[in-house]
Structure 1
Amino acid sequence: MADKKKKPRGLGRGLSALMADVNPAPVSTQSEAPRNAEVLVPIEKIVANPNQPRRQFLQEDLDDLTASIKEKGVLQPLIVRPKAGGAYEIVAGERRWRASQAAQLHEVPVLIREYSDQEMMEVAIIENIQRSDLNAMEEAQSYKQLMEKFGHTQEKMAEALGKSRSHIANLVRLLHLPEDVQILVQERKLSAGHARALITSDNASDLARKIVKGGLSVRATESLVKKDAAGIRTASAKKPKAASEKDADTRALEGDLSAMLKMKVSIDHKPGSEAGSVTISYENLDQLDELCNMLSR
């Protein structure tokens, strides 16, 4: 019973160790004996992770990696954990495993780790964050997973992952954009800079289409958003905004706090004042207990 209430472990030395596994020093040549942390495992004993957070593997990228492996071998070991029957489940490195199969390798270098299900998911997410071809929405989803599934704060993640807190916060806020705008970012028709400029807009979808059609720069996008906001303010001056309507910044902040606390958060800011109230809704007594613990800290 006590295990069910066990709090997620914090970041720090634990995550540093996981990151050291994701980014180990490469093997210099195939002829050298692997470091004592590495072993060579027959490729047929390795199985994919069914919960791999990255679902798309571009064939062109796999072909390039296959050609590299044929020439130089696997330069960075896969991370695996033992399974029943002498098999190993991939924690990180599925692209290398797929390319190694295509290159007809018989065995690959691996790091064997006794990871829990939580650690396994964390490493898979961390590896995705480290990838250079990740688009802004994929990276934002990865940070959101680390916060929602494991209770990690933006400050702690920034410190452990070597990112600035503002970088993480700005990307997570992109998840509050309309779905059609997020798709444009995923398709790389809009950059992260374009998307950030649209966060505060109440007309993000229409503006996004204009940006893509006109091939506007980020600076031009920022000007467009300001002009659009000024037009909306002018139009609404004749018809005051309903008191209950919240601006985009308030909604984004509510989303950030809800993701961090894993509870619904509502912010009621009094117009024309610096005062207001924050309401946190819990679904059960366990959440209330967790909230009390966080506030007491």
Structure 2
Amino acid sequence: MAVKKGLGKGLDVMIPEVIIENTDKSDENVSRETLIHISDIEPNKSQPRKKFDEDALQELADSIKQYGVIQPLILQKREKYYEIIAGERRWRAARLAGLKEVPAIIKDYSPQEIVEIALIENIQREDLNPIEEAQTYHRLIEEFHLKQDEVAERVSKSRTAITNSMRLLKLDDRIQQMLIDDMISSGHARALLSIENKDVQYHTACKIFDEKLSVRETEKLVKQILKEKPIKEASATIEDEFIYRDIEERIRNIIGTKVSIHKKKKNKGTIEIEYYSNEELERIIDMFEAMK
């Protein structure tokens, strides 16, 4: 009896069942698993996923050393190599594990199907960061002229989820990078969309990261910024905060202890220098005396 492998909801619609054992040779519509030399395989340049966690890859490589590659890669034959349609993470881990060959299914797909399969696989495994996911939805709509409803149907998500994802691309580029680097969450980012000024967006995002604000706290902060001050004034206030933080850091690097600047009205304020022992206080005093 032939053994069949399903590739999960979504993918199984686009990728045919895999027949492991030899069956009727005349059936040309059945895709069969085969072994491909790992050096003959190259990643897909259109792969939505750009970042791969090195620790997670090593864990998968250790598993592959013990159990092998359980699920075959999906490849498409090019002129001089095989291109990965699905399974780049497995391919990378297999190389780390020292494998010479990997199981694969060879199949022809249209450019649109290639993007859809790669997207579905990554979404199912939660491998994409929010910006990679949003960019791929945008590509399906702009390049392949799909409607949001059609994209939603293909990836088994609601139309609202697709819309909210793509809205993240309206954020300042610096905030998008913070999302990619996992410095803030999608919830934080969506709250920032209410702020139109890009500099205020970015400085607020930095405040969220520095102060480890929750999404609820971020929403309150954004409402406060929009309600209490005109956007230019809010921008200047946040800008001042970062200038003073920079000065605090520069002084700290000079004297080697925590420094806080407390701004008052009319360009006045106080500088607070912390010390943690009498010896450290003496050291700070000696340093100031040496500056005379």
* TM-score bucket (shorter structure): 0.5 to 0.7
Change (3 A) 1:171 1:117: closer
Q: Classify 1:43/1:177 alpha carbon distance in 2 versus 1 (closer, same or farther; 3 Å).
A: same
Amino acid at match of 2:220: S
CA distance, structure 2, for counterparts of residue 63 and residue 22 of structure 1: 29
Match of 2:41 in 1: 47
* 1:209 corresponding residue in structure 2: 206
1-structure distance, mates of 2:195, 2:93: 43
The secondary structure found in structure 2 opposite 1:140 is helix
Specify the structure having the higher radius of gyration (Cα).
2
Say which SS state the counterpart of residue 125 (structure 1) adopts: helix
AA partner of residue 222 (structure 1): E
In structure 2, what residue type is equivalent to 1:211?
Answer: I
| 1:86-132 deviation per Cα after TM superposition (whole angstroms, max 9, x unaligned) | x5322111221122233233432222211133332332333333331
TM-score (norm 2): 0.65
Cα distance in 2 for partners of 1:45, 1:22 equals 26
Alignment RMSD (CA, Å): 3.1
* Contact 2:38/2:102 (8 A) holds in 1: no
Does the CA contact (< 8 Å) of 2:137 and 2:166 recur in 1?
yes
User: Where does residue 12 of structure 2 map in the other structure?
Assistant: 20
The answer to whether the 8 A contact 1:19-1:126 is kept is: yes
Structure 1 contact 22–127 (Cα < 8 Å) conserved: no
- Structure 1 residue aligned with 2:241: none
Q: Secondary structure at the match of 2:123?
A: helix
CA deviations 1:164-211 (Å, max 9, x no partner) are: 111111111011011111111111111000001111113312211211
- Given candidates 49, 58, 61, the residue that maps to 1:63 is 58
Q: Quick check: 1:177–1:199 contact (8 Å CA) kept in 2?
A: yes
TM-score, structure 1 length as denominator?
A: 0.64
Q: Summarize deviations over 1:44-102 as a string: whole Å, max 9, x none.
A: 463213514333333222211111111222122110112346x5322111221122233
Which SS does the other structure have where 1:152 is aligned? coil
Residue 83, structure 1, aligned to residue 78, structure 2: yes
User: Which aligned segments of 4 or more residues in structure 1 are displaced greater than 4 angstroms?
Assistant: 21-27, 32-36, 233-236
Partner of residue 221, structure 1: 218
Could you say if the C-alpha distance between residues 104 and 22 of structure 1 is closer, same or farther in structure 2, counting changes exceeding 3 Å?
Answer: farther
Higher RCO (CA 8 Å, separation ≥ 6 residues): 1
**2:183 alignment partner, SS class:** coil
Please say if 1:111 is aligned against 2:116.
no
Q: How far apart are 1:23 and its partner, in Å?
A: 7.9
Alignment-derived partner of residue 73 in structure 1? 68
- Indicate conservation of the 8 Å contact 1:26/1:75, yes or no: no
State the percentage of identical aligned residues: 40
Correspondence for 1:293: none
SS at match of 2:64: helix
Q: 2:119: which partner in 1?
A: 125
Alpha-carbon distance in 2 for matches of 1:130, 1:234: 40
Which consecutive residues of structure 2, in runs of 5 or more, have no partner in the other structure?
1-7, 24-29, 234-292
Deviation at 1:235, TM superposition (A): 8.7
Distance in 2 (alpha carbons) for counterparts of 1:199 and 1:95: 33
Which residue number corresponds to residue 170 of structure 2? 176
Distance 1:212 1:44 in 2: 41
- List per-residue Cα deviations over 1:213-263 (Å, max 9, x = no partner): 111110111111111110235999xxxxxxxxxxxxxxxxxxxxxxxxxxx
CA contact (8 A) 1:83 1:89 kept: yes
Take 1:23 and 1:113, find their aligned partners in 2: how far apart are those partners? 9
State the SS of the aligned residue for 2:45.
coil
**Residues 112 and 140, structure 2, Cα contact 8 Å, conserved in 1:** no
Flag the 1:207–1:97 CA change in 2: closer, same or farther, 3 A: same
SS in 2 for 1:158: helix
Do 1:38 and 1:109's aligned partners in 2 also have CA atoms closer than 8 Å?
no
Q: Distance in 2 between the 1:99 and 1:184 partners? A: 27
